[in-house]
Amino acid sequence: MKAYKKKIVVEVRCPLKESEMVATAHGRIRAEAGDYILTDSKTGDTWPIKPDIFSETYEVVEKGK
């Protein structure tokens, strides 16, 4: 079986300058400096993601201000 990740739109806060705790659906998780913080536009769920995984998994469609 093969599958692909469904397309969802996420807000991206990138990259962190220092580590911080992020409240996720699974509890608080430490995000390290350089990580991106993603927020699902539909559900509001938030999670950190490493830069290499972000670049492999997501494509930027709109640059922030």
pTM value is 0.81
Alpha helices, DSSP H only, in 1-65? 51-57
Using alpha carbons only, how large is the chain's radius of gyration in Å? 12
Q: What is the pLDDT of residues 48-57, one digit of tens each?
A: 999 999 999 8
Instruction: Spell out the residues 6+ positions from residue 25 whose beta carbon is closer than 8 angstroms to its own.
Output: 45, 47
Instruction: Spell out the residues 6+ positions from residue 35 whose beta carbon is closer than 8 angstroms to its own.
Output: 15, 16, 48, 49, 50, 51
The answer to whether 22 touches 47, Cβ cutoff 8 Å, is yes
In the predicted model, is pLDDT for residue 46 greater than 90?
yes
Q: Name the average pLDDT for the chain.
A: 90
Q: What is the pLDDT of residues 11-27, one digit of tens each?
A: 999 889 999 999 999 99
Tally of CB atoms within 10 A around 34:
14
